[in-house]
C-alpha cells in the first residue's frame, strides 16, 4: 500500500472546539494531576491549564488527515509529538483550529505522515502542534526523507537538573481516553493482545506526553504553565499503566532542556526529546 503524496499541503477548513473548566480538569486528572496540584483541578483557582492540553482540540483532525494521506488507521503508530505555546490557554473557550498535512516521508519499510495544527482563540494564536505518525508497511515508494529538526542531546556525564518520578495508576488510560482518544488499544485487553501487546492495554503516548510536560512544571517552570514555550517528544517504547515513570531533565543552552523518561526498571528510555521555557 502506498500513500498519496498529492495530499501534502492539504489544509482543512477551520473547525471549532468548545470546552469549559470541567474539560480541562478532566484532562489534568488524565495526565496525573493530584490534590497537590489543586490550581489545575479546582475551578475556584481558575483552573489553570496543563500546557499539553494543546493536543486535545486537534483530535478531530487526526482520522480525516490520515485518510486523506491514504493511510490505514490500523497501521498507524504515534512517532512523535510537539506543542508550541504562544499564550496562556484559557480555562474555558471556543477555539478554532486549522490542520495541514506537512509531509509524507519514505523510510523503506514504513513511512511518516506529519501534520500540524494552529489553534486560535478569537483572532489570537494560542498554540501550534505537530504530529508525526508512523505508518507500517507503506515505505519504499521513493519519497523524500524528512528534514532535520532541532535536537537537544542529553549531555555526557552531566547530572540531571531535575528528576520527577510518578507511579501511573492502573486505570489511568481509561481516564485519559475520556479527553478524546478512544482507541481500544488503551482499554480492551483482547484488542491489545490481537495487535501484539499480550501484557494488556498500553498507556496513550499523549498521556505519557502529559506526564512529562507536568514534570517540566515541577522543575524549571516552578509551577507556572505560562513559562513553558515548547515540548517535543519521540515515543520510543510503550508504557503500561501501573509502571513508574521517571522523567529527567538536563539543562542546555537558550533555556532548552534535554528530556528522557524511563518506565520502572527498564534501562532504555521510553521517550526522549526537549523542551523550552522562558526565563521568567
Catalytic residues: 181, 186, 202, 205
**Distance of alpha carbon 30 from alpha carbon 42, whole angstroms:** 15
**Closest alpha carbon to 52 in 218, 231, 252, 227:** 231
CB 249 within 8 A of CB 161: yes
Distance CA 53, CA 49 (A): 7
DSSP alpha helices (H): ranges in 108-178?
172-176
Cα separations (Å) of 47 from 130, 228, 275? 26, 17, 23
For residues 213 and 247, give the distance between their C-alpha atoms in angstroms, rounded to a whole number.
10
- Rounded to whole angstroms, the Cα distance separating 189 from 192 reads 5
Amino acid at each position: 500500500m502506498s500513500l498519496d503524496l498529492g495530499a501534502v499541503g492539504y489544509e482543512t477548513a477551520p473547525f471549532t472546539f468548545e470546552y469549559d473548566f470541567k474539560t480541562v480538569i478532566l484532562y489534568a486528572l488524565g495526565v496525573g494531576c493530584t490534590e497537590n496540584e489543586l490550581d489545575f483541578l479546582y475551578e475556584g483557582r481558575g483552573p489553570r491549564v496543563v500546557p499539553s492540553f494543546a493536543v486535545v482540540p486537534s483530535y478531530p483532525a487526526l482520522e480525516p488527515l490520515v485518510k486523506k494521506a491514504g493511510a490505514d488507521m490500523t497501521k498507524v503508530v504515534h512517532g512523535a509529538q510537539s506543542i508550541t505555546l504562544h499564550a496562556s490557554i484559557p480555562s474555558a473557550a471556543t477555539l478554532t483550529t486549522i490542520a495541514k498535512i506537512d509531509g509524507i516521508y519514505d523510510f523503506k519499510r514504513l513511512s511518516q505522515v506529519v501534520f500540524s495544527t494552529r489553534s486560535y482563540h478569537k483572532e489570537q494564536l494560542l498554540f501550534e502542534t505537530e504530529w508525526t505518525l508512523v505508518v507500517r508497511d507503506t515505505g519504499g515508494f521513493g519519497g523524500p526523507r524528512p528534514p532535520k529538526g532541532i535536537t537537544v542531546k542529553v549531555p555526557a556525564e552531566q547530572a540531571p537538573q531535575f528528576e520527577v518520578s510518578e507511579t501511573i495508576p492502573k486505570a489511568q488510560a481509561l481516564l485519559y481516553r475520556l479527553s478524546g482518544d478512544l482507541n481500544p488499544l488503551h482499554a480492551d485487553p483482547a484488542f491489545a493482545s490481537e495487535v501484539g501487546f499480550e501484557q494488556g492495554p498500553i498507556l496513550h503516548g499523549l498521556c505519557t506526553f502529559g506526564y512529562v510536560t507536568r514534570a517540566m512544571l515541577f522543575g524549571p517552570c516552578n509551577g507556572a504553565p505560562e513559562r513553558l514555550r515548547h515540548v517535543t517528544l519521540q515515543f520510543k517504547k510503550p508504557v503500561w499503566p501501573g509502571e513508574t515513570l521517571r522523567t529527567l531533565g538536563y539543562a542546555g543552552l537558550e533555556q532548552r532542556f534535554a528530556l528522557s523518561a524511563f518506565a520502572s526498571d527498564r534501562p532504555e528510555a521510553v521517550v526522549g526529546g526537549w523542551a523550552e521555557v522562558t526565563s521568567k
